Amino acid sequence: MTSDSGTPLSSVPALPGDANDEFNTQSLEREKEPETSTRKCRRTTVIAETTSALKTTSTMTTTTITKKPRRTKAQKSSDTSAMVPLAQRVATKTHFIGAHVSAAKGVQNSILNSVHIGANAFALFLKSQRKWASPPLDPKNVKLFKQMCHEHDYNPGKHMVPHGSYLVNLATPDPEKAKQAYACFLDDLKRCEELGIGLYNFHPGSTLGTPRDAAIARLAAHLNTAHAATTTVTLLLETMASPTSNHLGTSFSDLSSIISLIEDKSRIGVCLDTCHIFSAGYDIRTSVSYNEVMAEFDRVIGLKYLKALHINDSKAPFASGRDLHQNIGQGWIGLEAFRCIVNDERLHGVPMVLETPLESEGDTKTWAEEIKLLESMVGKGEEDIKEEAERLWALGEKERERVGAQVEKKREKERKAAEKKEGKVTVKRGRKKVEVEVVEESTVKVTATTLAKRGRKKAVKTEDTDSDASAPEPNPRSKRARKQVSMKEESTESESS
């Protein structure tokens, strides 16, 4: 049958109340039945399997599974950024600039860390700098180190400057301590030769209160012995900061005296630290003073012995004796000195290593920026860097003032101690401060101008008096003075009567 429109009736959908309603509903229910029954079967199966698994688990030994902590997005980002160089390698072949990088988890990692900051030279520790003994180098790491040197175009014989242990003092007069120090020192040199490194920098040590000449002789004797026990490493004496201390190497003459006692002078040299020499009294802040210092170095030691530089500004003022490194241009030295260094043709090929502070631990971005800063000054004059020098100087103003105040306070304390030792002391008497010179144990001589607290009136008093009589006279208007006058009058009246 067909409808009026010619469409077969079987294809016409059933309408509500139609006779086909019951038939259509039943057929739909029959079509859904298999699906529903299948779901029930699946659900029953899953429940059965879960119950079985729980029973099995209850009979097994319970084990604790420790999950690794989830890494944050910041940690994953830092891992990724560590693989990407912060800057391109130094382009010039006349300048070798880098920083003191980490060699944690394998000496070969020092190369990756150097590449990361765009350096073509660097310093590192070959073992813990605060332990006498450390495990030997892993042969696998040594192989990787040499392989990476080749891959990344590093010359370990010329442009790597390992730093010695802070514990070692080869100038000590104690035989047992000297033996321990030499063993630690020689172990470092053996590591250098194992890695093919040609330079080794260390602190000359301390006299420990013994005569300076004797301490220098002890140090030189150990260096000669070390030369005999090795074949290739050149030993670099680092310039030190405090000329008034027992440290050796605080003056160019110290270093010259040590070198004069070395038998194999082809394997001895100097690592000049800019912060240290500035604190020791060598002014390099201007092009004129820089050239004067370099001329003195050449005259006293010889520029042929200058094998490496530590590039650091100073938080402490000139000739302070304080070893406080600061970022380039932000300290008391200023940017001009470093412009002079990178433009000094006599220093071409000499490794220059940054030891400046980082904003936070592990954030080597500062070094990458400073390497680029040093490289950018090559070929420039003083006027070309004036704007950048002023910007960096302003950044370090607060820190310079803070440390400068500390240094001035210490100097004042030392001045007073020196005066006391010479027999002059500043004492407070009443409302006045006077400087007195000790003549005898019970006698003092007033020598300085005293300043009254009230009215700020100056009065000069120079006289020899007993210590008991040297106190200032009481004010005649004071209660004490009036009482004394009254007592004198009473005593006079009693005598006359």
Which of the residues are catalytic?
Answer: 130, 163, 166, 203, 238, 273, 276, 310, 323, 325, 355
Q: How far apart are CA 248 and CA 215, in angstroms?
A: 8
* Apex 232 CA angle, 228 and 238, nearest 5: 90
Q: What is the DSSP string of 420-448?
A: HHHTEEEEEETTEEEEEEEEETTEEEE-S
CA 36 remoteness from chain centre = 74
From first CA to last CA, the distance across the chain in angstroms is 168
The amino acid that residue 131 corresponds to is K
Q: Which letter does DSSP use for residue 14 in this model?
A: P
* Short-list 163, 240, 175, 176, CA closest to 202: 163
Q: Are 311 and 374 in contact (CB under 8 A)?
A: yes
- Determine how many CB atoms are found less than 10 A away from the CB of residue 425: 14
Please enumerate in sequence order all residues whose Cβ is within 8 A of that of 144, keeping only pairs 6 or more positions apart, or say none. Answer: 106, 108
Q: How far apart are CA 95 and CA 104, in angstroms?
A: 27
Please enumerate in sequence order all residues whose Cβ is within 8 A of that of 423, keeping only pairs 6 or more positions apart, or say none. Answer: 437, 438
Q: Are 263 and 224 in contact (CB under 8 A)?
A: yes
Give the pairing of strands 234-238 and 199-202: parallel
Please enumerate in sequence order all residues whose Cβ is within 8 A of that of 167, keeping only pairs 6 or more positions apart, or say none. Answer: 129, 130, 131, 132, 181, 184
Backbone angles phi, psi at 468, to 5 degrees: -75, -30
Question: Could you tell me the two tokens for 311?
Answer: 């590039």
